[in-house]
Amino acid sequence: MLSFKTRRTVPFLAVSLCALSLAACGGSGDKGQPLDLTILHINDHHSHLDAETTALTLKDAAGASKSVTVELGGFARVSAAIEALAAGKPNVLKLHAGDALTGDLYFTQSEGQADAALMNTVCFDAFTLGNHEFDGADAGLVKFIDYLHAGACKTPVLWANVKPSAGTPLAARVADYSIIERSGQQVGVVGLTVKDKTRFASRPDAGTSFLDEATAAQAAIDALRARGVNKIVLMSHLGYAADQALAPQLDSVDVIIGGGSPNLLGPASMKGFGLSPAGAYPTAAVDKAGRPVCIAQAWQYAYAVGALDVSFDAAGQVAQCSGKPQVLVGDSFKVGNVAASVADADAYRSQLDASGVFRVTTPSAAATAALAPFKAAKDALGTQVAGVATDNLCLRRVPGARRDTTRSSLGDVCNKDATVIAHGGDIQQLVADAFLEQGQRFGGADISLQNAGGVRIDIPAGDITVGKVYTLLPFKNTLYRLQLTGAQVRAALEDGIDSVLNGTGSGAYPYTGGLRFSVDMNQARGSRIGNPEVRDASGNWQPLDPAANYRLITNNFTAEGGDRYDTLKAIPAAQREDTFLDYADSFLQYVRSRSPLAKPAVAARSTQSYVETP
């Protein structure tokens, strides 16, 4: 619990005068009474509407620690949890801090209609835009808002720092802020999206402009105060660290409900369950005048609901705020593939209940019903033909005639293919090429990297279905953009080769888009990669410059050091960005745009030559 003793002085006087002089201040003002407000919030659900699974560290009935698999999240659990948490509380705000879209086949299939339908089972009081709301350009955002407003709910869509072209359909569907009344008092809610990331890593129309976040937020706060509103909640899609930096730049913001990182916030005790909170829930900050600000965020992918209680005094000052994340889990437990015994399940459930941060939740029946037609369409989408392959696109992790020589399910047609032996898998190369193209489309990229083991099947000549793409790339991965020097790029390639020889095995072998090199497995570490070249914007190959900076697109597994890509793991947070682009969907878009697919040209393959150990 955060408790504050400071009080407003001059700012309180100004608001009090506004309350007494409506003509001067342009609004009805508040009645000078305390207010207890509960804010229930989510962010960054990214079209993840189905429940997923996670492993938690729990003790069984005998007291032994186990890795226990449980269901995690799902929007029907979000709907049920918010309904239960709001029950009996008179003053509730339900907020969504952005990035509802992009990241799952639900978005590919329905272009946001499924997300809107599930959001309307909650009926949020306000929604601010994230950068991915612009992935379908302004027209795609208009379509999504119209889905959101199709029923009775009509959640206000807020942004204070985005200005669409005058007269466009988008301009009439959004506002800088909303004033919401609770117990006869007004609460101002301001929306704020991240400027540069939206402009450069998404697809807004050229005529849509983005303003400085702090300047636009302050202007909206000032407008609310001029109307006599002295309790201000800012919904920010800037990210947790940016929210902490933003608070002291603003005057008279009380609460920041964030998104865009996204971060799990909560007590250190969550580490004992195998989770890693990035900070306290809520996180204490101060505004420009030293007044208290409470910051909260609720993880990602509909995994959690934030439950924040804020007490305002009669002056509109935050007196205290408290709360915890509510991580939404199911009530079935497995160790490995074996269901827990009744005694062990009771022990696991007891620990989750006692934690205060896990909420065993039965999915909402109404939300499950709302999702049902979209789920059926998603399942049917798996049978749809996305494109065609004119050649067998062979699976092979490592080139050469010694390692991984029977990987292909297509047999000798691939296992003995001379190009595959010389240069490696066709399909791994195409996946790397697809990631580069998607990275260039959303925010820019110079090269890409995909670990060989993350690509799971051959693609035989013939039709390529959506389901086959998701079998090819079955993991819950997203694409990361990392800023590296040429020397770090080369070191990362060396990491992958060393891991093949001395670490995790063949799955670490690097496939790259826009980057080619030679490999000699007989050399010492640091000398196994030779003649690295980067393809420039004109299509010409230039030597990799050790001192130059490059934007590399890779999956989050390798970005976080999976397969012993230690160089990528060490890249600091300021130089890494989760694009939230689903990696399987990224290849699906490539199939649709590039079909028919053929074996990649030798000149464009990442491994130009390969020398095996004796």
- pLDDT by residue (tens digit) across 538-548? 999 999 999 99
Range from 35-39, 211-215, 379-383 carrying the lowest mean pLDDT: 379-383
| 301-325: burial string, b at 16+ Cβ within 10 Å, e else | bbbbbbbbbbbbbebbbbbbbebbb
* H or E element at residue 415: helix 412-415
Ramachandran quadrant class, 63 (left: phi over 0; alpha: psi -120 to 50; beta: rest): left
Residue 8 has pLDDT above 50, yes or no: no
How does residue 29 score in pLDDT terms, banded at 50, 70 and 90?
low
Q: Identify the pLDDT of residue 21.
A: 28
Determine the angle formed by the axes of helices 213-226 and 10-20, rounding to 10 degrees.
Answer: 50
* Residue 448: pLDDT over 50: yes
323: phi then psi, degrees, rounded to nearest 5:
155, 180
Q: What's the whole-number mean pLDDT along residues 61-85? A: 97
Q: How confident is the model at residue 20 (pLDDT cuts 50, 70, 90)?
A: very low
86, 40 Cβ separation under 8 angstroms: yes
Mean pLDDT of 358-362: 98
pLDDT tier, 396 (very low <50, low <70, confident <90, very high otherwise):
very high
pLDDT tens digit sequence for 93-143: 999 999 999 878 898 889 999 999 999 999 999 999 999 899 889 999 999
Q: For 268-407, where are the E strands, in sequence order?
A: 283-286, 292-297, 304-312, 318-329, 334-335, 338-339, 358-360, 385-389
For 416-443, write each residue's pLDDT tens digit: 999 999 999 999 999 999 999 999 999 9
Each residue of 501-532: pLDDT tens digit? 997 788 999 999 999 999 999 999 999 999 99
Mean pLDDT in residue range 450-456: 92
Q: What percent of the chain has pLDDT over 70?
A: 95
pLDDT at 6 over 50: no
Side-chain-side CA neighbours of 321 within 13 Å: the count stands at 27
φ, ψ for residue 283, nearest 5 deg? -100, 130
Nearest to 326 by CA among 82, 76, 597: 82
Two structure tokens written together for 603 = 């000149």
- pLDDT at position 28: 45
Bridge partners of residue 325, in order along the sequence: 306
Mean pLDDT of the 387-391 span: 97
Of 237-251, 339-353, 401-415, 521-535, minimum mean pLDDT range = 401-415
Contact 144, 102 (CB under 8 A): no
Q: What is the pLDDT of residue 2?
A: 77
Domains in the chain, ordered, with CATH? 2-19+26-53+88-328 (3.60.21.10), 383-611 (3.90.780.10)
Q: What's the whole-model pTM score? A: 0.81
30: pLDDT confidence band, cut at 50, 70 and 90?
low
String of DSSP letters for 198-244: HHHHS---TT-EE--HHHHHHHHHHHHHHTT---EEEEEES-HHHHH
Instruction: Give the separation between CA 166 and CA 176, rounded to whole angstroms.
Output: 15
Phi-psi region of 402 (alpha: psi -120 to 50; beta: other; left: phi over 0): alpha
pLDDT in tens, 457-500: 899 999 999 989 988 997 878 999 999 999 999 999 999 999 99
Query: Can you give the pLDDT at residue 4?
Result: 63
